[in-house]
Amino acid sequence: MHLSAANHRIPLSDGNSIPIIGLGTFSEPQWTPKGICATSVKAAIDIGYRHIDGAYIYQNEHEVGEAIQEKIAEGKVRREDIFYCGKLWATNHEPEMVRPTLERTLKTLQLDYVDLYIIEIPMALKVECHPYFTQPKLLKFCQQHEIVIVAYSPLGTSRNETWVNVSSPPLLKDELLNSLGKKYNKTAAQVVLRFNIQRGVVVIPKSFNPERIKENFQIFDFSLTEEEMKDIEALNKNIRFVEMLMWSDHPEYPFHDEY
């Protein structure tokens, strides 16, 4: 499949489609200046991102909504050009809570629909995916069943020690990824993102830094050889950065399962 900056939607089995790169918007609320989320979403839309990944629990969903509204009002995009993924937080799983929780998200966003609404945990936690955690079995299973994987933390997380397992070395410092970056005049981050989109995995790197938002989108003008894809796959360590160990005794803790 040919992916380009202007056209990088991939099909979903229900007939819809999803842009293969999205902007992640989770940022620790207490350390994030007000307004930076909105500025970043607007910058991303200007650069060409059409998929925004957010959640009410991130406490900045209103800024995402403001940014989308502003870009629609400017005529830069139409609502139907944007793919927004929202999330149902773990305290609102009761069936009767789902609709009002979604309606709260819609009100916060000032939108009348979201494109995807997922349960944030435990299932959503299963998609961490990057060269140190390549998820070959899950990928094969999903491909067989026409399920598209969305990889969160595709760059290896923000390495916040309060909730991230930092026993694995930083992904973006990896020697192979950096040497491939040199070969293509790209950064290790761009190689990592290209690796996933080239195998059909959607990526949602978070960045609120204008240069990095741009950098993360410049992945459509090069491709990795089959051998390089294999070499990157071989970096797999089967170690999660996002283990959520504080919830490991929860009956639905997802990471005891094989996938």
Please pick, from the candidates 50, 194, 206, 240, the single residue that binds ligand A2P as defined by CB under 6 A. 206
Q: 249: which residues sit within 8 A by CB, 6+ positions away?
A: none
Structure tokens at 124: 């959503």
Task: Name which of 62 and 212 has its Cβ closer to ligand A2P.
Answer: 212
Number of residues engaging ligand A2P in binding (CB under 6 A) = 17
Helix (H/G/I), strand (E/B), else coil: 17: strand
What mask, x for binding ligand A2P by CB under 6 A, covers residues 153 to 192?
A: x-x-xx-------------x--------------x-x---
**Smallest gap, in angstroms, from Cβ of residue 117 to ligand A2P?**
19
207 binding ligand A2P? (CB under 6 A): yes
Could you say which of 58, 84, 132, 152 is catalytic? Answer: 58
What mask, x for binding ligand A2P by CB under 6 A, covers residues 8 to 47?
A: ----------------x-x---------------------
Using CB atoms within 10 A of its CB, is residue 256 exposed (0-12), middle (13-18) or buried (19+)?
Answer: exposed
**Enclosing H/E stretch for 175:** helix 175-184
205 binding ligand A2P? (CB under 6 A): yes
Structure tokens at 248: 């490991």
What mask, x for binding ligand A2P by CB under 6 A, covers residues 215 to 234?
A: xx------------------
Is 58 among the residues known to form the active site? yes
Helix (H/G/I), strand (E/B), else coil: 170: coil
Alpha carbons within 13 angstroms on the beta-carbon side of residue 189 total: 17
Helix pair angle (36-47, 61-74), 10° resolution: 40
Task: Name which of 111 and 155 has its Cβ closer to ligand A2P.
Answer: 155
Q: Are 180 and 235 in contact (CB under 8 A)?
A: no
214 binding ligand A2P? (CB under 6 A): no
Using the contact rule CB under 6 A, the part of the chain among 105-113, 117-125, 150-158, 219-227 near ligand A2P is 150-158
Among 187, 191, 193, residue whose Cα is nearest residue 24: 193
Structure tokens at 5: 């900056």
Q: φ, ψ for residue 155 (rounded to 5)?
A: -100, 0
What residues are labeled active site? Answer: 58
Where along the sequence are the contacts to ligand A2P (CB under 6 A)? Answer: 24, 26, 153, 155, 157-158, 172, 187, 189, 205-209, 212, 215-216
